[in-house]
């Protein structure tokens, strides 16, 4: 390993927690967006079959196809909050390694929940697309079923926001700096 790489690892992962926090933010976005893309693909594939016979249902099916995409947005919100709370956008960055590792796990865990919930929501949406295809009058009710899966994606976002705000509060950073120094 070169001296420059050793210095970067020391600076971003040992002396501060910035590297950990950035990695957590990246995992949140990556997992959430992969899940959203896969969930939308599942729902859209089912919708394509229904629309081949009933193209007039496109407006009703569009919402069901798009629902799994919200998890990607939730991952982005988590990543932006991590960046904001760590001071990345302000240019003044210092978080302790412990807080950085904590943010890494918040981002990683949130990303995994979003990944899985988007896939499950895509599967639920596909079933509801079938329902709407056979009984178009049930299209409004069909949205409720993938909405139930959405609740857990929103729950993961909410707890992530709470943890990010707690972990990066000035008091906690000051306490961790005092104990490190």
Task: Domains for the chain: give ranges and CATH numbers.
Answer: 18-172 (1.20.120.610)
Using the predicted structure, report yes or no on whether residue 6 has a pLDDT greater than 90.
no
Percent of the chain, pLDDT > 70?
Answer: 92
Q: Give the number of other CB atoms < 10 A from CB of residue 9.
A: 13
Q: What is the pLDDT of residues 49-75, one digit of tens each?
A: 999 999 999 999 999 999 999 999 999
Query: How far is it, in rounded angstroms, from Cα 30 to Cα 104?
Result: 13
User: Does the global pTM surpass 0.85?
Assistant: yes
Q: What is the pLDDT of residues 120-167, one digit of tens each?
A: 999 999 999 999 999 999 988 999 999 999 999 999 999 999 999 988
Query: How far is it, in rounded angstroms, from Cα 89 to Cα 180?
Result: 25
């Amino acid at each position: 390993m070169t001296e420059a790489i050793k210095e970067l690892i020391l600076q971003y992962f040992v002396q501060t927690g910035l590297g950990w926090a950035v990695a957590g933010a990246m995992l949140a976005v990556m997992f959430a967006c992969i899940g959203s893309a896969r969930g939308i693909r599942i729902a859209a594939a089912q919708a394509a079959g229904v629309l081949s016979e009933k193209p007039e249902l496109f407006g009703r099916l569009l919402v069901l196809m798009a629902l799994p995409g919200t998890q990607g947005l939730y991952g982005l919100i988590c990543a932006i909050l991590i960046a904001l709370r760590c001071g990345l956008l302000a240019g003044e960055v210092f978080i302790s390694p412990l807080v950085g590792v904590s943010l890494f796990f918040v981002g990683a865990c949130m990303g995994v929940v979003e990944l899985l919930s988007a896939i499950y929501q895509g599967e639920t949406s596909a079933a509801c697309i079938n329902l709407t295809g056979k009984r178009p009058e049930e299209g409004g009710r069909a949205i409720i079923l993938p909405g139930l899966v959405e609740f857990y994606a929103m729950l993961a976002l909410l707890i992530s926001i709470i943890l990010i705000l707690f972990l990066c509060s000035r008091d906690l950073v000051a306490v961790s700096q005092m104990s490190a120094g």
